Structure 1
């Protein structure tokens, strides 16, 4: 019997891409509401209750409302693509490579990671856990994203104003991704986060610079590379590259991709390192991650329906 999946918020960017990844898959019967019903509380409550799994592609407040509409006693399992529950008690963080596939498979409440935190945590969390890097260091993260990460309003802004070449934001140093970055990496302090948007529809580059000499910690660039390669050796969607190209690009016409690529750049004297992740903010950073969790929760092959990276 097919699993009934209700996409609440199917008209948004993330919901549309999830729907595309589920199209034609016999394992799922996908429910979406039309324009006349999608803001009707009663219709949403009914669809949520009838679903085996609901995927919430909503603003944070609406996602919290959806959980309330469902109620504590409902059997419906939830994947929340918003940031509403990423640090909430009782929710499983939807990053299988970090929390374990069994944790996702057995969860009733899964919160999708943020796009920026996906790159940051993929780089840093395994190294903190292995004690190759200290949990109390003052980390920073620099990142650029395609404008689709800002939703329909940001997409409209960039498509209507071709003069925008670069946008940096989060200047109050209180970005909503910081709590999940700190919690999931196990850091004593939140990182200094410098996010920016570029005039490309999709794609993302996340970088964590490290001064190994200043840390005075017993580690090396070679140990960092080896640890990341070992950690992700058996993961189908995360690749740790042995070699580093002369440059890493985010193209204006970046194709969809549900993979995650990690690089380690090292200074000649090996005292400085740049940890770099590249990903699709709409793929492994959003819709692809939700479908990966959905696959695990329903016993489907982990990468079924995903856009796999080229070898």
Structure 2
């Protein structure tokens, strides 16, 4: 069976990477619009309603407008890569490892997770669910990303500098748009303090949650956190938990890193285990965006979850 797919916003970074992962796959037929048609509401409406699956790679307001163009009778299923519907009712949060593959496969509306929340939630949500970490703890998130995650505007700001800045801290006014999904899907009482930054690399991401374990009621042990994460992701073809404390000695974001759709999780601990650093590495354009969209698309269409993804050879 062939599934028709329309990428609304196909000319953007996320859309281009999704199309690259679908290239040569006989299970899909892409519905495409030329440059003029992309700005024509009628042409977009027709493409959206003709598709078996529409993938929205749009700013939030445009994604909301795209949903309004859909005829409920069309049967089109949607994957929204914007942040518009990540905490909305009647939308499935498209993180299969957390919410279940069956739930994603059965959904009509799937909201793709944000890149930073993907790393944060992968680390924290399973541990809060198990009761190893408290829901009301004042969590802090430090993260750096390749500049491609900021879209065309940020890409241009990096490219016009000679040389480009090595580090750019942002979100300094607080209230980052990723915070609601971090709080909601980790089931936290308070939003975390989020410190994002971008570096002079096109892709790649490190997300860190530092923990003062000695101050948490119940004397949480770093070994228990690592074991719980290993069990939670056991058998996952995409998320891998590094089994050793203290290794590797560095986590890098490389300027020439290739595309990847997996994610690695680490638990580092002080010698007395009173402090820990939970860390995730991923590609902000892979598991943090386009790779996750293709993973969700595969599930919606009843196909192997990892088909078309860039994964390390086992």
TM over 0.5: yes
Asked whether the equivalents of residues 237 and 309 of structure 1 are also in contact (C-alpha less than 8 Å), the reply is: no
Asked whether the equivalents of residues 140 and 194 of structure 2 are also in contact (C-alpha less than 8 Å), the reply is: yes
Asked whether the equivalents of residues 182 and 188 of structure 1 are also in contact (C-alpha less than 8 Å), the reply is: yes
Partner residue, 1:213:
214
**1:246-267 CA-partner distances (Å, limit 9, x unpaired):** 1110001111000000000000
Report whether the alignment pairs 1:223 with 2:224: yes
Report the alpha carbon displacement of residue 192 of structure 1 after superposing the two structures with TM. Answer: 0.2
Partner residue, 2:126:
126
Report the alpha carbon displacement of residue 223 of structure 1 after superposing the two structures with TM. Answer: 0.5
Partner residue, 1:180:
181
Distance 1:246 1:99 in 2: 32
Partner residue, 1:282:
285
How many residue pairs get matched?
311
Report whether the alignment pairs 1:83 with 2:83: yes
Q: Structure 1 unaligned segments of length 5 or more: list them.
A: none
Partner residue, 2:265:
262
Report the alpha carbon displacement of residue 129 of structure 1 after superposing the two structures with TM. Answer: 0.3
Q: Structure 2 unaligned segments of length 5 or more: list them.
A: none
Distance 1:207 1:22 in 2: 31
Asked whether the equivalents of residues 203 and 250 of structure 1 are also in contact (C-alpha less than 8 Å), the reply is: yes
Partner residue, 1:54:
54
Secondary structure of the residue that 2:18 maps to in structure 1?
A: helix
Report whether the alignment pairs 1:39 with 2:42: no
TM-align CA RMSD: 0.9
Mapping for residues 103-252 of structure 1, pairs under 5 Å: 103-161=103-161, 162-243=163-244, 244-252=247-255
Secondary structure of the residue that 1:37 maps to in structure 2?
A: helix
**1:223-278 CA-partner distances (Å, limit 9, x unpaired):** 00000000000110000001221111000111100000000000010000000000
TM-score normalized with structure 1 length: 0.98
Asked whether the equivalents of residues 214 and 220 of structure 2 are also in contact (C-alpha less than 8 Å), the reply is: no
Distance 2:32 2:156 in 1: 24
Distance 2:12 2:99 in 1: 28
Report the alpha carbon displacement of residue 15 of structure 1 after superposing the two structures with TM. Answer: 0.2
Distance 1:13 1:133 in 2: 36
Distance 1:269 1:71 in 2: 59
